[in-house]
């Protein structure tokens, strides 16, 4: 099969309608934001965190695949790579957070008088906040661009030396990813409530990002599985492997969430308990219960069944549910910080993530078509074919 055939997915017609739809939704929200800046920036933060989470989750899973050398992610490797190449868009999307810094973050306001917050001024100040954000994106750009550059070289040359370079960069890259995401989660989300802290917070975001990226990648794989050349390699056995991996991340997310809750609630400290109290009041208490049921219990139960993981329709439903609950989790993490049970979902909370998401998805589809959907010279692809014959 030629590279052109391998690269032709027929997705070009989708990009422009997505851009137009996303642009209209964003313009409507910006116009409404002129009258209610608080609602706009709070909604925008949720949208940004959700889509940057998928982008960075793709980067993490890509490095895990290169480091382990497993075949489990070969058929979604180009989906993951396309996800990482949306970083330029997300860097631009981060700029409104700087515009709305004083609206979102109480520590950035010049009239701040809380002695606890003032004691953290060396770290929580606008200049250092911006410098850290630039540093995070520089690290992520470096990792993403290098991995994608080498991937293009592999398609052309197929040099065995590239595989060792992939592995070496991914090992150190995962360490850098862990550090930068931990500090970014503190900056962008934890500092919304600067009196509160959790040492497990960064890990929660890392696992949540990987979970969202894997669910998204499997959904895209299922969507494209009837088109060549994916129709030749996507078989129930590979879907089962990806479904099992998704199950592992669902369990890990639940374990970390419960660990944080158990330690903080059991400690009963006045500095930490209010964070959960705000999320147990009013509607947010029901949403928290919904997360337990739909982001853990139901996906966990369904993914235990081999038939669910091997059937495209049922696996697509599970991944769609997980992805939706990742967005709900962002609502639950962010919005109660602005008033606890007194804060309710608004139309802008719902519309903004989909507006930004339409732009992100259009950019993702454009990037997905810039490289062959399957690695051209990766020797492990021969193993994929053998795996299909043996277990398909």
Residue pair 83/213 in contact by the 8 Å Cβ criterion: yes
Per-residue pLDDT at 391 exceeds 70: no
Contact 191, 336 (CB under 8 A): no
CA distances from 115 to 107, 112, 122, 124, 346 (A): 11, 9, 13, 13, 33
Residue-averaged pLDDT of the chain? 90
Q: What is the mean pLDDT of residues 294-306?
A: 96
For a pLDDT cut of 70, what percent of the chain falls above it?
Answer: 93
Look up tokens 């809380």; give the residue. 114
Token representation of residue 145:
């661009």
Task: Taking residues 134-157, report their average pLDDT.
Answer: 93
Q: What's the whole-number mean pLDDT along residues 192-199?
A: 91
Q: What is the pLDDT of residue 163?
A: 83
What is the mean pLDDT of the segment spanning 104-117?
89
Global pTM? 0.93
* Angle made by CA atoms 37, 40, 43, in degrees to the nearest 5: 145
Condensed to tens digits (0 to 9), the pLDDT of residues 111-135 reads 888 888 899 999 999 999 999 999 9
- pLDDT(294) > 70: yes
Query: Where does the pLDDT of residue 377 fall: very low under 50, low under 70, confident under 90, or very high at 90 and above?
Result: low
Q: What is the sign of the dihedral through the CA atoms of 267, 268, 273 and 276?
A: positive
Instruction: Give the integer Cα–Cα distance in Å for 42 and 33.
Output: 10
What Rg, from alpha-carbon coordinates, does the chain have?
21
DSSP alpha helix (H) spans, the chain: 3-7, 12-33, 37-68, 77-84, 87-93, 95-99, 101-104, 115-118, 126-156, 161-188, 201-224, 236-267, 273-278, 282-292, 298-303, 306-310, 312-334, 347-368, 380-391
pLDDT score of 234? 86
Convert the pLDDT of each residue in 71-93 to its tens digit. Answer: 777 889 999 999 999 999 999 99
Lowest mean pLDDT among 14-23, 102-111, 158-167, 275-284: 158-167
Tens of pLDDT, residues 24-43: 999 999 999 999 999 999 99
Going from N- to C-terminal start, the domains of the chain cover 3-378
Q: Provide the percentage of residues in the chain whose pLDDT is more than 90.
A: 70
Candidates 162, 203, 247, 208; CA nearest to 332 is 208
Q: Which pLDDT band, with edges at 50, 70 and 90, does 156 fall under? A: confident
Residue 57 has pLDDT above 70, yes or no: yes
Distance CA 388, CA 324 (A): 31
CA distance 109 to 349: 24
What's the pLDDT band for 8 if we cut at 50, 70, 90? low
Query: In the prediction, which pLDDT does 341 show?
Result: 72
pLDDT at 90: 98
Task: Please tell me the predicted confidence (pLDDT) of residue 390.
Answer: 41
């Amino acid at each position: 099969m030629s590279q052109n055939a391998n690269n032709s997915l027929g997705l070009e017609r989708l990009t422009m309608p997505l851009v137009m739809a996303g642009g209209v939704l964003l313009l409507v929200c910006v116009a409404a934001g002129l009258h209610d800046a608080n609602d706009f920036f709070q909604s925008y933060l949720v949208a940004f965190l959700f889509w940057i989470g998928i982008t960075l989750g793709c980067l993490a899973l890509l490095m895990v695949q290169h480091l382990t050398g497993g075949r489990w992610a070969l058929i979604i490797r180009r989906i993951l790579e396309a996800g990482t190449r949306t970083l330029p868009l997300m860097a631009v999307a981060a700029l409104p957070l700087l515009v709305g810094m004083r609206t979102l973050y109480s520590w950035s306001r010049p009239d701040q008088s809380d002695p606890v917050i003032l004691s953290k001024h060396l770290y929580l100040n606008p200049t250092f906040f911006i410098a850290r954000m630039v540093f995070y994106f520089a690290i992520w750009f470096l990792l993403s661009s290098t991995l994608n550059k080498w991937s293009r070289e592999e398609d052309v040359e197929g040099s065995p030396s590239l595989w060792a370079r992939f592995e070496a960069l991914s090992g150190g890259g995962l360490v850098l990813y862990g550090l930068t995401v931990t500090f970014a989660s503190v900056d962008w989300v934890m500092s919304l409530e600067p009196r509160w802290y959790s040492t497990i917070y960064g890990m929660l975001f890392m696992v949540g990002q990987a979970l969202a990226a894997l669910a998204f990648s499997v959904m895209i794989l299922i969507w494209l599985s009837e088109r060549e050349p994916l129709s030749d390699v996507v078989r129930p056995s590979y879907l089962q492997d990806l479904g099992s991996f998704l199950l592992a991340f669902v369990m890990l997310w639940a374990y970390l969430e419960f660990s944080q809750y158990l330690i903080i609630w059991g400690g009963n400290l006045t500095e930490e308990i209010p964070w959960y109290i705000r999320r147990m009041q009013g509607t947010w208490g029901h949403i928290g219960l919904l997360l337990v049921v739909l982001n853990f219990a139901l996906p966990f139960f369904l993914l235990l069944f081999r038939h669910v993981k091997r059937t495209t329709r049922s696996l697509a439903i599970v991944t769609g549910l997980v992805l939706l609950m990742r967005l709900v989790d962002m609502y639950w993490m962010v919005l109660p910080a602005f008033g606890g049970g007194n804060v309710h979902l608004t139309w802008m909370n719902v519309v903004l993530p989909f507006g930004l998401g339409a732009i992100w998805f259009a950019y993702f589809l454009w990037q997905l078509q810039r490289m062959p959907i399957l690695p051209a010279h990766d020797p492990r692809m021969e193993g994929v074919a053998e795996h299909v014959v043996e277990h398909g």
